[in-house]
Each structure stands twice: as structure tokens, then as C-alpha cells.
Amino acid sequence: MERNLTIIFSIAVLIFSANFTSAQKRKNAPQKKAVTVSKPNRGQQDVSGEVEGNVYKNKFFGLKITIPEQWLFQESQVSDSIKQSGSEKVKGKTAQTQKSFGEAVQRLTILYTASKDILGMENNAVMVFAAEEMTPLMQVRNGEDVLRLNLQTFKKMQLPPDFKYSETIRPEKMGNETFHYIDVQRTGFSQRFYAIARKGYSLFFTLNYVSDEDLETMKNIIRNSDFSWKE
């Protein structure tokens, strides 16, 4: 049913164009770390969280995530741009699918975007953490269910020619939580999607990387995160 449409991959499409295909020269001026995060859509609960230094905290989901000191949090406008551009670039194969996709976009909140380097730099690594509100019809119990819905969605959309994804969903223990993930190959870089279900939302990390070392760095960010945090 089209009502099951979910949109994790819209982020992937934009990151491809915004970060990996338009590399720019490094600026000499030091970059300040952003401290604002995306705000929820109208009508949604405030699930956005906040950034303090290199730590992201979210009271609603009860979690605390620390990124490496030298990494950069992006301004909320960047995250909003990721969401908007992703929805513009991905099209459904039918009018009904496109309508359902538009409705799914409204359920998405990008919680933060963090990168190893300035967006647009070559050989960069980018982590996008987002939450999508699930509907009762989706019957989502865990990350495996979330990703299974996404694999169904892939088949309904007009994806870029270089978007090659694995249909094998794998579990991975991260700290005290069990995530599930799928891998995507793109021209010039790779992506991994980790998902978990919590409080009626699917939470997912989109890891965009060129080197295995950067993948391991981002996996360590998730492993060392506190998913039972209380203020």
C-alpha cells in the first residue's frame, strides 16, 4: 500500500549532489562549529534536541551523541536544505506514489548533520541523523522493519542510475542497542543506513563515506552514544 511509503533515501540523494559532486577548495579561515539543529515540522512534537559543543542531546528520545572534537555540526538551514532538495530530486513512478512521498516528507525531522570537513570538500565523511514519525499502519517494531519498508519504497521510486543498494538487512550491536543496516553504493562514495525504532519514530543514521576509516569513525560515534541518557 502506498500509505507505507517512507523516505530515508531522500537524504542520500541530496548528499550525493551537495557534498560529493561539488568539491570546493579548502578555505583558510577557521570554521566555527554550528550550534543550531533542525526544528520539527508544524504539528509535530518537539523532537529536535540541542547541540552543546561537540555533543548532541535529545530529551524526547533520551539519547546523547558525541562527535569527534574536530568534526563540524552543520547549521539547521543546511539540514532543512537536505530535506527539501532530497524531496525535489526523488520522484515516484506514479502520481499516487509521488503524493504519498510528499506526505512522508512532512513526517521527517533531520535532527543533526555532522561532517569531518566543510561540506563540499573531497573525500569528506558526513553523518545525517534523522527521525521519521511512523503511522500505525506501518507496524514498525525495530530497525529491520524500518529498512524493509525502505526497500519496498526503493522499488516505487525513480532512483539515480548509480544508486545500487543491497537487499540484505543485517543486525549490528551498537553499545546496548541493536541496529539494522543496509549498504548503498554510489559513484565515488558509499553509504550505510542504520535504523532503530523508538517512541513511534524510526531513527536512522545515514553514513556517507569514501574510506573505510571514516566509516569506522562514524560507527564508533554510534557505538559510544548513550541511548538511555537522562538529564
The pLDDT assigned to 2 comes to 44
Which range of residues forms the domain containing residue 171? 2-22+33-223
pTM of the predicted protein model: 0.80
Task: Identify whether 219 is part of a domain.
Answer: yes
Q: Which residues pair with 184 in a beta bridge?
A: 165, 191
Task: Identify whether 230 is part of a domain.
Answer: no
The pLDDT assigned to 12 comes to 53
The pLDDT assigned to 107 comes to 75
Task: Identify whether 153 is part of a domain.
Answer: yes
The pLDDT assigned to 125 comes to 92
Task: Identify whether 231 is part of a domain.
Answer: no
Is the CB of residue 49 less than 8 Å from the CB of residue 130? no
Q: Could you report the per-residue pLDDT of 14-60, keeping only the tens digit for each?
A: 454 444 444 333 333 334 344 445 555 544 567 888 999 999 999 99
5 vs 102: CA distance, rounded Å = 10
181 vs 193: CA distance, rounded Å = 5
Task: Identify whether 96 is part of a domain.
Answer: yes
Task: Identify whether 75 is part of a domain.
Answer: yes
The CATH number assigned to the domain holding 58 equals 3.40.1000.10
Task: Identify whether 27 is part of a domain.
Answer: no
Q: Is the CA virtual torsion 171, 173, 179, 184 positive or negative?
A: negative
The pLDDT assigned to 99 comes to 74
Task: Identify whether 80 is part of a domain.
Answer: yes
Counted domains in the chain? 1
Residue numbers of the chain with a pLDDT score lower than 70: 1-45, 75-90, 100, 103-104, 137
